[in-house]
Amino acid sequence: MRNKKVLYIVQGAAIAAVYVILVVLFGSVSFGPIQFRIAEALTILPFFTPTAIPGLFVGCILANLLGGAIPADIIFGSFATLIGAVGSYALRKNKWLVPLPPIVANTLIVPFVLKFGYGVPDAIPFMMLTVGLSEVIICGMIGLIFLHALMPLKHKIFQPNLP
């Protein structure tokens, strides 16, 4: 029992660390009105393990803190990732639907943070389009490629039967 809890924490921490590293490495395109946050491809990981849910949430909080995000972005942007991760886990029975929740959550939440938190002058529908398109590319395309690449390794990387 104790080993499962330790494994759960370690996997979640590793996922958080990878998320932060990807945001830092691609920092120039991870923030702003037109975002291309490569780390969001990791939102498919709840397909494999529930440890990805807190891992992605904590990783997003830390990445936003390190990236100099405003408090509204740290809170609402991270909750968008959390909502997406929970939704991805809920839809894990159909791998083709797994990227949908992060796409929808970020498309609906991030433009309001950009408009009212950062004062971006673009119209909210335009920002929904730009954020939505980037999420479709990252989660829907890159994320699904990543999911399929991990499939043969899933039992080696992700311990089955975690809490």
Nearest alpha carbon to residue 84 among 93, 71, 97: 97
Share of the chain above pLDDT 90, in %: 79
pLDDT value at 100 more than 70: yes
Instruction: Look up residue 82 and give its two tokens.
Output: 């959390």
Q: How far apart are CA 79 and CA 81, in angstroms?
A: 5
| For the chain, percent of residues with pLDDT exceeding 70 | 96
Q: DSSP secondary-structure letter at 37?
A: -
User: Domain coordinates of the chain in residue numbers?
Assistant: 2-157
What top-level class would CATH report for the domain 2-157? mainly alpha
Q: What is the mean pLDDT of residues 4-19?
A: 91
What's the pLDDT score for residue 65?
A: 95
Task: Name, in order, each residue with C-beta under 8 angstroms of 132's C-beta and a sequence gap of 6 or more.
Answer: 103, 106, 107
